[in-house]
Amino acid sequence: MNTIKIGDKSIFLSICDRCAKFYVQDGSIKRDFIDELRCNHPEADTRVLLQLTHASSEMPDDCTDLVARASDTDVFIILLDHAQEFNCEVWLDTGNKQYVSISKIASPIGLDMCRALPGFHALTGCDYTAPKRKKETSSAVGNKCRCTESPGESLSY
């Protein structure tokens, strides 16, 4: 039965411009649309932040973890930028049974570096989305990212 898999957790799912919350009540799965999470963001990358912020503010005191599922570096960078805003541990599920602790990465990097990462990420033009069963790495710092143009060429002055 699916209610056992969900248990006492809530699952948020974006559906077009709406967000549905799935949860178990009285032994059956319920769905509510959350009006305050309605948005017209064209990319799911920023919707994840909106949903995690909402979930963080609505969490019971005994709940300590939030999990976002994404295999895109944009989401990783956005979460690092906002890591200090959450009142709990935030994990990124990369989809390959690997969980990355955003808080544990953000802490030693520091607030200033985390705040600078989105700009650096945007200027490099490097993005990585994990392929379905293929391992690859991409790093602008380690020179493994192959950009088709230099960052300056994509800027308009």
Mean pLDDT, 10 residues at a time, the chain of 157 residues: 65 83 88 88 80 79 80 88 87 88 92 90 72 45 39 34
Question: Quick one: 88 and 75 in the same domain?
Answer: yes
DSSP summary character for residue 84: G
Domain that holds residue 30: 1-40
pLDDT confidence of residue 127: 66
Question: Quick one: 73 and 11 in the same domain?
Answer: no
- List strand residue ranges (DSSP E) for 52-88, in order: 65-69
Burial string for 24-39 (b: 16+ CB within 10 Å, else e) reads beeeeeeeeeeeebee
pLDDT confidence of residue 106: 93
The C-alpha angle 98, 114, 51, rounded to 5 degrees, equals: 60
Question: Quick one: 32 and 93 in the same domain?
Answer: no
Domain assignment present for residue 152? The answer is no
Question: Quick one: 86 and 135 in the same domain?
Answer: yes
CA distance 30 to 18: 16
DSSP summary character for residue 129: B
Question: Quick one: 99 and 132 in the same domain?
Answer: yes
pLDDT confidence of residue 4: 55
pLDDT confidence of residue 128: 62
Give the total number of structural domains in the chain.
2
